[in-house]
């Protein structure tokens, strides 16, 4: 059971930090959208469209990366690939160096999972930006 707690906590913390920064970044986009609306249409828009479903044809809050490639799938896939690579790297590192201490192994696993998970998100960001510029 201990082997799953470190990646699980890492995933929850990474997702929380990512969503926090996404909230801060999307605030500017929401303000721009509100600035483009007419004064009376904002109230009608908020009444008609439930929160979280604002991906209609008239407005888009989050731009897609490219036609047919959802941004969420790319982010989640890159994050999971990074977490898996981090676990594999941590396992190989503990086997090669023959670390016996539980605390040291936990630090190695946690650090490698965080590093490779972050690297996966950075790769996802770069891929999204590259795909969005090709449109």
Q: Where are the domains of the chain?
A: 2-133
Are 128 and 63 within 8 A, CB to CB? no
pLDDT tens sequence across 6-47: 888 999 999 999 888 888 777 777 777 777 776 666 666 566
Residue ranges of alpha helices (H) inside the chain are: 2-36, 41-48, 71-97, 102-133
The answer to whether residue 59 scores a pLDDT higher than 90 is: no
Per the prediction, the chain carries an average pLDDT of: 78
Averaged pLDDT, 2-7: 79
For residue 66, the cross-strand partners are: 69
What is the C-alpha separation between 16 and 116, in angstroms, rounded? 17
DSSP one-letter code for 10:
H
């Amino acid at each position: 059971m201990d082997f799953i707690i470190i990646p699980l906590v890492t995933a929850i913390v990474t997702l929380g930090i990512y969503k926090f920064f996404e909230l801060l970044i999307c605030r500017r986009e929401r303000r721009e959208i509100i600035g483009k609306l007419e004064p009376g249409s904002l109230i009608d828009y908020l009444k008609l469209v439930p929160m979280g479903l604002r991906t209609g044809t008239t407005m888009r809050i989050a731009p897609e990366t490219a036609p047919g490639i959802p941004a969420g799938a790319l982010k989640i896939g890159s994050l999971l690939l990074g977490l898996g690579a981090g676990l594999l790297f941590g396992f190989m590192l503990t086997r090669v160096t023959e670390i016996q201490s539980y605390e040291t192994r936990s630090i190695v696993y946690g650090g490698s999972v965080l590093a490779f998970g972050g690297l996966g998100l950075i790769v996802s960001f770069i891929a999204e930006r590259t795909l969005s510029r090709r449109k």
